[in-house]
Every structure is written in C-alpha cells, then in structure tokens.
Amino acid sequence: MSEGEISILEREELERKEILKRYKSLLRSIRHDLTKEQKKGIRAAFDLALDAHKDMRRKSGEPYIYHPIAVAKIAASEIGLGTTSIICALIHDVVEDSDYTVEDIRRKFGDKVAKIVDGLTKIKEVFDHTDSMQAENFRKMLLTLSDDVRVILVKLCDRLHNMRTLESMSRKNQLKIASETLFLYAPLAHRLGLYNVKSELEDLSIKYTQREAYKDISLKLNAKKAARDRFIRKFIEPIKKKLEESNLKFEIKGRPKSIYSILKKMSQQGIPFEQVYDLFAIRIILDSEPDKEKADCWTAYSIVTDIYKPNPARTRDWITTPKSNGYESLHTTVMSSDGKWVEVQVRTQRMDEIAEKGYAAHWKYKNSKDGIESDHKAGGVDGWLARIKDILENPSTNALEFLDDFKLQLIHEEIFVFTPNGDLKKMPKGASALDFAFEIHTQVGSKCIGAKVNNKLVPISHILSNGDQVEILTSEKQHPREEWLHIVITGKAIARIRNFLRESKREVAEKGKELLKKRFSKEKVDFNEDNIHKLVKYFKVQSALDLYYSVSKELIAPEKLEISNIINKKPGTQAPKTVAASSKPDSSAKKNEIIVGDEFDMPYSLAKCCSPIPGDDIFGFITIGEGVKIHRTNCPNAVSLMSNYGYRIIKAQWKDSMVKHEKRFLAGIKLIGIDDVGIVSSLTEIISKNMGVNMKAITIESHDGTFEGTISVYVEDTKHLDNLINKIKQKHPTMNVYRIEVGS
C-alpha cells in the first residue's frame, strides 16, 4: 500500500470521527428531554443525510454532512426548535442533492416532515435562471410558510450557517448571497422575532458587502472593549443595589450594538463612529411569577429612572401592547453620570426567551399549562401570516411585485388604530385611511370615499397616527384608481388595487384587440403571434396586452398603425418619435481602469446613483441596453439589484497596477458646522490651493448660526478623498465632514 493511499484512509477515519463528534454535540445541544422514539427519528435522519451526502463536499473542501448537522444544531440550540424541525434540518438538502424523493421521506418520517422538506427543497438557494425565477422561488417558500412556519425557521438556520461559512465562496456569490440575506432573510428573521439571528445575518451581510467599513468598526469596537466594560460595571452598580433592596430576582447584561446598527446610524445621521454614543445596551432580566411580570418590570423601570434621568422621547412600552412578532419589553434611554446616553431594556425571562427564540418560543408559551399567552390575535404573528397568505393567493401578482409587497410587510414599524367598536388593529407606520379600509375588507377598501378619524372628516390619503379611532365611509359608485397606489403602503391594499386595475386593463385591451384585428384584416395581414410580436417590439411596449390597451386608448395614434409597413419593415419606416430608442454603453467611460469579470477591456460605465471612485469596493451589473454599469457595493441600490437580479451580477475590480489615475472621478462631500465669516473661502483654499482638487459645485446654506453645505469634487481615488476630508477636519475640528452620493 502506497504512502498516498495510507494518508487517504487516515483522512477518511479522521473525518468519520469528526462527523460523529459533531453529531453527538448536536444531541447535547437539544434543550429538552428526548423520548426513545424521538432519538430514533433523529438518528434515522442523520443516517439518511450521511448516506445521501457521502460523496459530496462543500466549497471549503469539508464533507458536506457538516452543513446539515450545523443547521440542525442552530435549530436546536439557538432557536430552540423541536424534534420535527431537527429531523427536517438534517435532511433539508437530501431530495435536492440525491436520488431520494419526497415520497421516500414520507414513508420514513411521515407527512409532516415530508411537507416541510418539500417546502425547503423548493427554495434551494441558487436561482440562476431569471429574476422572476428567484422571486418565484421565494414566493413558493412563503406559500409553504403559511401552512407550517417551521419551513422558514429551518431555512433561516440554513441561511445563517451559509453566511457563517461564506468565506469559501467566490466574490460574486458572496455579494449575491449577502445582499439577498440583507434584503429578505434578515427582515424576515426580525418579523418572526429572531433578534439574535437577525443581527448576526445583518452583520455577516455587511462583512461582505461593505468590507472596509465592517473591518473599521470591528477594530474600533475591540479597541474600546476594556473601557466599555469598566463603564458598564460603574453604570449598573447603583441599579443592582436598588433592585436587590426591592427583593427582585434578576440578572443584568451589557451587550454591544451590532456593527450593522452602528453603521446604519452613522449613515443616517452623517456622523463618524466617535459620535455614536449608544454603542451598547443594558438589559435587566427579571425572574417573575406570571401574574407579577408587568408590575415587576415597571418597578425595575422606576428604579432605573430614579437613578438616571430618562429621555421621554425614547421610552417604549412593548409590555402593555407587544409588537406583532410577540416582542415584549420596556425600553428607555437614560443619561449616565458620565454624560453619555445609555439604552436600558427591562423584561422577564419569558419575554427574553421570546425575544431570543421568536416564534418557536411563542408556541411553547402559547400551549403551556400556566396559561401565559402572548398577543396572537389578528395583529400578532398568526395574523401577519394570514395577511401574507392573502397576498400569496392573488394569482395575478407579478413575482417581483410580490417581493416588493412582501418587503413592505417586513420593514414597517407599527401603530395601533381602533375601529368604531373599539377593536384594536395593528397597522404599519405611515398607513393611510385607505390602507385601513382594505385591512377591514377588500370591498370596504374598493368602495372607500373618505373616513372619519376621531370624528373628524378626512380624505382617503390621510396618514393615521397611534391611537386614532377610524370609521370608513363608502359609496357604491366608487372603484379603485391608478393614483390610489401612491397613497397605500400595505401589501394587501396594493395587491387588491393592482388586481382591479389589471382586470380593468384587460377589458379595455379586449376592445383594442378587436380594433387591431379589423386593421389587420383591412390591410390583408395575418393576425398571428409573430406579427403581434413585431408590433410590440416596434412600439416598444412591454407585452401584447399593453399593445391592445394602447390601441384602445389611442395612446398609439391610429395614423401610426401602418401595419403592413411595420410588419414588412419597409425602408424609411421609423419608430414613433415619442418613444426613446434604447441607449448604448458610454464608450467614453471605457478607460481600462476596471477589470470587468476577467476582461481587461470590456466596455462599462460608472453608475450615477453611487459614483464609484478608485479604491471603492465595486461590482458590475449587466443592464438591458446600457452595457455593464459599475456600482459601489454599498450603493443605495446594491442590495436590491444583487438580491433580485443575482444572475446579472459580474465581478469588477480596480486595476491594482494603477498608482496615479489619469482620470479624476466625481465625489460628494457633506459639511455641517458653526457658521463663521470666511467659511467658504477657507474651504476653497483647502480644497483648491492646498490639495489641488477641482470643484464642480459648492452649496452652502446658513441658518441660526449653523451651516450645511455640499461640495462636488474631482478626486483620484478613495485615499485622495479621505485625505481631503481629513484636511478639512484638521482645519475645522468642530465641523462634521463625510462623503455622500453625488447629488444627494
């Protein structure tokens, strides 16, 4: 036997031992006692997965079986799911990756496991065909979710492990998967109350989409850890003492804010890391009897606010009225003795478990013997799932439209509104009276002409506020209109209005189709699919339906319908002047500064939405009619582009060999500071004279002793821009200076 064969055998033996070690670790992580039958089921799932994946390896080179074991462990220990979910996690890729079928799963594990695995199989991660395919698969997943929420819970475990091991993937796939995660999976985890999962998914996403920013904040957080720990100890000392005197059982934790939330705050407020003061939160977790939970929380809250002065604008009571995902807690932000704002959260052990484990913990308490049941009525998670199912069951909804509608259901904060009878309804913040009408019933929404809010007559566009009491006014003559789409934000309202408009459009289009048939007959041209397609292409409309509608409404003038000329492409025939021809790639943008894919001379142009400059982390996006557009990975549109159109993403990078760039790139700078005589001349001196930078535009507005300004400058790269910003800060230490998108 050769030396090479011995090493292969040794490696196989080591891997076999490692697989068993990981399996035993999974069993230890299960937090509830297993019956003999449950142990048997988990072992059977493990053996099946081991057989199905025996010849497979991950991109990292590890045996593939490591992945389902890790997913099952996340399900068991981090979300607290039960035996059925653990079995599903172990075999979630079996049908996709082997000869085993859903029927095989059903025979071995029963209908419930088969249904969940089938749901998971339909949403296998990589959808590389078309944009609608990617959206359509997400839609299929949610159809299954509405029947059994465990599909999405296991999928989130799967996504979390894939994000933890994303390092071994190609750069293109890192960007696609990270963006998809930030766009949909993190908000979904948030909506189901999985705050730990949501925060980790967000942090891991920006680790790949905004690499430099992530690294920078991470290093700064670690550098200040010792000082932060000292501050927390000093801050909680008097609270601890008072809580003990009140005979409350408790524990206090200090936790840093996520890197994603810090970066988001920096971006929204236009401030550097050093000016983000609430970098951590203090959490007080009480061990309370079920009937004393609310009273104990308010006692602890009053102890905290007696010691430290609270900010009234930042107090949140989610105990009296929990969030839709079941989250319960008291939040307040108080001023410490060191002059720093600190967020304090007060909750019980039950509330904390629901906050950590989300929907999984809900069911534990909902079905428990002690009678504790969180808000699972029309506004709770069950109600939310019912609303999602309502959107899903609209068969005519375009898949990408559906994604947008669904996203709205995930990201909005909530307000509480009352019906005339005093029933409480949870609505997204920013919802209009028309949204509320559709929430009551589709027919009420479709016939809505106005509303009475707190007994005062208001239009359908009126934005509702917390605590409003709303009565909807209707008329049989009313029907949905196109402009309604601009005054609603809920998925249900948008879907119902679009559906009505589509049906109306089809009726109008039918008339247009008949008119067009007569025109074809008159000119003795065959009315067939090929000829209709030629007209669609010629008039640059989206579909045959749009063509018929445009003919019916005379959006295409009758004299332009020279059918035989268009069909036969006679010389001199041109497209109507009202329709712009598709633009071509800007050849002037091709400066051999960027390698697109593996090509050194592929034409490209720089996206105007984010104006990348050398040194920025970038990617290419293949557009229709405009070639490859180069975006920054932290472009405002990047997450949506990469998650919805992952198949059109192409890697791009600045040439490393370029030390001095011949071309200069446009970048924006925002400045906020104390107004002073000569501030403009001081800035122009730094920018033009000292740094030799050309300015395209400068705008300064002063008000009440302060000023805000934006400057558009031409720079070589990010280093050049950073040097310029630092020079301004050195000259004006109190001034807030940071990069912005050009034109924002």
- Which one of the listed residues 15, 18, 62, 96 is annotated catalytic? 96
Q: Which two tokens stand for residue 44?
A: 């059977």
**Which of 474, 501, 510, 487 lies closest to 394, judged by CA?**
501
**Which of 102, 78, 236 lies closest to 158, judged by CA?**
78
Q: Specify whether 423 is catalytic.
A: no
572 burial class (0-12, 13-18, 19+ CB within 10 angstroms)? exposed
Q: Which two tokens stand for residue 354?
A: 């629901």
Q: Using CA atoms, how far apart are residues 141 and 123, in angstroms rounded to an integer?
A: 6
CA 515 to chain centre: 45
Type of residue at 75: A
**CB-facing half-sphere around the CA of 562: CA atoms within 13 A:** 13
**Which of 575, 515, 577, 505 lies closest to 546, judged by CA?**
505
Specify the 3-state DSSP secondary structure of 165. coil
Decide the pairing of beta strands 649-654 and 618-622.
antiparallel
User: Any idea which residue has 């400057």 for tokens?
Assistant: 711
E strand or H helix that includes residue 253: strand 250-256
Q: Using CA atoms, how far apart are residues 130 and 52, in angstroms rounded to an integer?
A: 29
Decide the pairing of beta strands 665-674 and 250-256.
unpaired
Specify the 3-state DSSP secondary structure of 173. helix
How many other CB atoms sit within 10 Å of the CB of residue 365? 19
Q: Specify whether 97 is catalytic.
A: yes
Q: Which two tokens stand for residue 572?
A: 């001199």
**Which of 738, 614, 725, 609 lies closest to 664, judged by CA?**
614
Backbone angles phi, psi at 309, to 5 degrees: -75, 125
Q: Using CA atoms, how far apart are residues 391 and 493, in angstroms rounded to an integer?
A: 9
**Which of 104, 98, 116 lies closest to 152, judged by CA?**
116
Going by C-beta distance under 8 Å and a sequence separation of 6 or more, which residues neighbour residue 489? 408, 412, 428, 430, 431, 432, 435
Q: Which two tokens stand for residue 546?
A: 């749009």
Type of residue at 654: W
Q: Using CA atoms, how far apart are residues 69 and 77, in angstroms rounded to an integer?
A: 12
Q: Using CA atoms, how far apart are residues 186 and 178, in angstroms rounded to an integer?
A: 10
Strands in 363-459 per DSSP E: 414-418, 424-428, 448-453, 456-458
**Which of 697, 613, 596, 705 lies closest to 651, judged by CA?**
596
**CB-facing half-sphere around the CA of 3: CA atoms within 13 A:** 0
Type of residue at 299: T
Backbone angles phi, psi at 368, to 5 degrees: -75, 160
- Which one of the listed residues 15, 18, 62, 97 is annotated catalytic? 97
Going by C-beta distance under 8 Å and a sequence separation of 6 or more, which residues neighbour residue 600? 592
Question: Please, are residues 523 and 511 in contact by the beta-carbon 8 Å criterion?
Answer: no
Please list the active-site residues. 96-97
